[in-house]
Every structure is written in structure tokens, then in C-alpha cells.
Amino acid sequence: MAQAGASAAASPRGRLGYYFPTLAIAVGVILAWEILVLAFDIQQFLLPKPSAIFSEFMHQVSLWLAPGERSILFESSGATFWEAFGGFIIGCGGGVLVALITSRWTIVSEATMPFAIAANSVPIIAFAPIMNNWFGITNPASKMAIVAIIVFFPTMINTVRGLTLVDASQLELMRSYAAAPRDILLKLRIPNALPYMFSAFRVASALSLIGAVVAEFFGGPRATLGVYITQEASAFDFAKAWTAIMMASIIGISFYLVVLYVERRLMPWHASLRDSG
């Protein structure tokens, strides 16, 4: 496994060199944004300066750290993260489980796949008001349910693919060993499905945060990012709204990176194949 990571990112300098263009672009965009807002004298409620967003963010950090004070922004971020994370776990777990069950019987999985693919194209977020009625508008379960449904279908579809698209010779090899179905599942089908599953998890990590925030636009407790953004925007406090958007982005990107990290730890063979090929 030691050899697996020994590619471009071996030395600290190599790693810095590797990420430098990306960082340069990020810094460049933020600088250009700041300069353009100043140069064209754009009204703060239309587009606040990055520096204004940042100072609002630092203000929220100081509130969060100060004893006896509250930062609604950080409370909202926490609440929204848990909705997204809970929905992610339920939806992805359910997707993998259903895939495992249906792939046990080829007929069942072939019969359910068209429905799963169709359901995957449905704008699930349209159910948000219904979930609010079912679970209660302030109950995090209403948002988790939306997130879970959104991530369920891509996870299930990809997992079924990974379990069934197995190399014919590798299956024949198992047959020549007179292997039990359980061994074929555990030693061949599931490892074969892992890359498919993780590519679904990566998509799901981004979808889950989008789902949670958008579901909150339809109503929710005060301390959630979706509600925070709608309220601050309607109060014309755009620096606050943008700070919340920034928090949502940070959570979304971190979530994605964590999934990516777990994938690379779990499947060094796959990450290295992808890098070299």
C-alpha cells in the first residue's frame, strides 16, 4: 500500500506544485471579484465584496467562540450538516442494501432497474412540502427524508451495476473452484462494486447538502442554512446571506473530500489505477 501513494504527491514541494495552479485560480477569482465590485461601484445588496463577507464570517466566529453569545450562522450550519449527513447515511445505506437484495435475484434487479432509473430523473425536491407535512416543518426528519430519497436512487443504481458487471472470466474462475454463492458475493461481487458505490457516494455527498438547503427553502427551524439564507436575503442583509452560502459550500466540499479520502484509503488499487490511466 505504501507504493500506492508514491506518485506526484510524494514530496511536500511536489504536492505544493501540484495544487499551486488551483490555489492561484481561487485567489485570482476572489481578488477580481473584490476589484470589480469596487471599480464598478456595485451596490452591497446586489453583490457584497469578499472582504465584507469575510469580516461578517469573522464576526460570526467571534460570536461562536465568545461565552454567553450565540452564532445563529454556526448553529444553522451544524443543523443543516446533520440533516444532510443523516439523509446521506440513510439514503446510501438503503440504496446499497436494496441493491444487495435485488441483485441476489437477477430477475428482480432487472425488473426494478427501469423504475430506479426513472425515479432518479424525478425532481425529488418537489416532494419537500409534502415531507414538511408528513414529518413536521421544524422536524429535521422532513429534510433528512428528502436527502435520503435523493441519494437513494443513484446509490442503488450504481451498486447494482457494480454487483452485476463482473468480468466473465473472474466468474468462471470462481465456478472452477466450486465456490459457494456467498464467496462469490463477498470475494468478487462486492469488491467489484466498491468503485461504483464510491462514485455514487461522491455524487451523493454533494447532492445531500443541496437537498438539505433547498428543502429548508420550503420552511424549517430558524437555525438552518436554507432558512437563514432566505431570511437574511429578504432583509437585504446580503453579507450575512453570502456568509451562509459560503458555509454551505465549505460543508459540501469538506463532505466530498472526506468521502474521497475514505475511498482512497479503502481502495488504494483503484485510486492508483485511475491516476495512472
- Grid coordinates representing 2 are 505504501
| 166 class by beta-carbon count within 10 Å (0-12 exposed, 13-18 middle, 19+ buried) | middle
53 and 243 Cβ atoms separated by less than 8 Å: yes
Q: How far is the CB of 276 from another protein (least distance, A)?
A: 7
Minimal distance, residue 190 CB to another protein, in Å: 10
Question: Shortest Cβ distance from residue 4 to another protein (Å)?
Answer: 8
Q: What is the DSSP letter of 138?
A: T
Binding site for another protein (CB under 8 A): 3-4, 167, 169-170, 172-180, 183, 187-188, 191, 194, 267-270, 272-273, 276
Cell of 201: 457516494
Please give the full DSSP string across 168-203, using - where no structure is assigned: HHHHHHHHHTT--HHHHIIIIIHHHHHHHHHHHHHH
The span from the CA of 260 to the CA of 250, in Å, is 15
How many degrees, rounded to 5, is the angle at CA 109 between CA 108 and CA 110? 90
Interacting residues of 212 by C-beta distance below 8 A, sequence separation 6+: 80, 83, 84, 87, 143, 144, 146, 147, 224, 225, 226
Quick one: 10 or 118, whose CB is closer to another protein? 10
Minimal distance in Å, beta carbon 63 to another protein?
48
Q: Nearer Cβ to another protein, position 4 or 260?
A: 4
Cβ-based nearer residue to another protein, 110 or 183: 183
Using the minimum distance from each CB to another protein, give the nearer residue, 61 or 173. Answer: 173
Task: State whether residue 235 is helix, strand or coil.
Answer: coil
Q: Which is nearer to another protein, 39 or 168 (CB)?
A: 168
Nearer to another protein, 18 or 177 (CB): 177
Nearer to another protein, 4 or 233 (CB): 4
CB 155 → another protein: shortest distance, Å? 20
Find the length of the chain.
277
**Nearer Cβ to another protein (11/276):** 276
Nearest distance, CB of residue 144 and another protein, angstroms: 32
Extract long-range pairs of 232-237: CB within 8 Å, 24+ residues apart: 236/45
- Smallest separation (angstroms) from another protein to the CB of 165: 14
How far is residue 147's CA from residue 94's CA, in Å, rounded to a whole number? Answer: 12
Burial zone of 5 (CB within 10 Å; 0-12 exposed, 13-18 middle, 19+ buried): middle
DSSP structural state of residue 45:
T
- Work out how close the CB of 96 gets to another protein at its nearest, in angstroms, rounded to a whole number: 17
